[in-house]
Amino acid sequence: MNANYQHSEITQLVIKAFYRVYNTLGFGFLEKVYENAMRLELDKTGLFCTAQQSIDVYYDGEKVGLYYADLIVNDCVIVELKAAAGLAPEHKAQLTNYLKATNIKVGLLLNFGQQLQHKRKVFANDRKNHF
């Protein structure tokens, strides 16, 4: 299977949940409100969702930090939530770094701003976990 299509059924369900949450709540809430609503909505779809899962970061074989992913769905898709005016390069870099630091290859960046935005990212190469 082409890596670009990996877990596409799951990401499509997550994006549908994203639209349902946004259509219900609108914009202007803090990210935590959207995170909680997404967890509820994803549970309704039958997807397994973990919030604020820690991700260890290594450099030269030594642990140097810790990230917390907003949501991990079915142990195979990282979902990073934003409530910003727009997606910025640092938001995309954050998702890429989460993907680099884990064995997860697929990520979604969802922005609950005034205009909805979502980006799907696949990071599946030999640089994973090799900081």
For the chain, which residues make up each domain, given as ranges? 8-122
Percent of the chain with pLDDT over 90: 69
Contact 24, 17 (CB under 8 A): no
Confidence band for 2, pLDDT divided at 50, 70 and 90: low
Class level of CATH domain 8-122: alpha beta
Confidence band for 125, pLDDT divided at 50, 70 and 90: low
Q: Which residue has the higher pLDDT, 33 or 65?
A: 33
DSSP label of 131: -
How much is the pTM? 0.88
Measure Cα distances from 96 to 20, 21, 26, 99, 131 in Å: 26, 24, 27, 5, 13
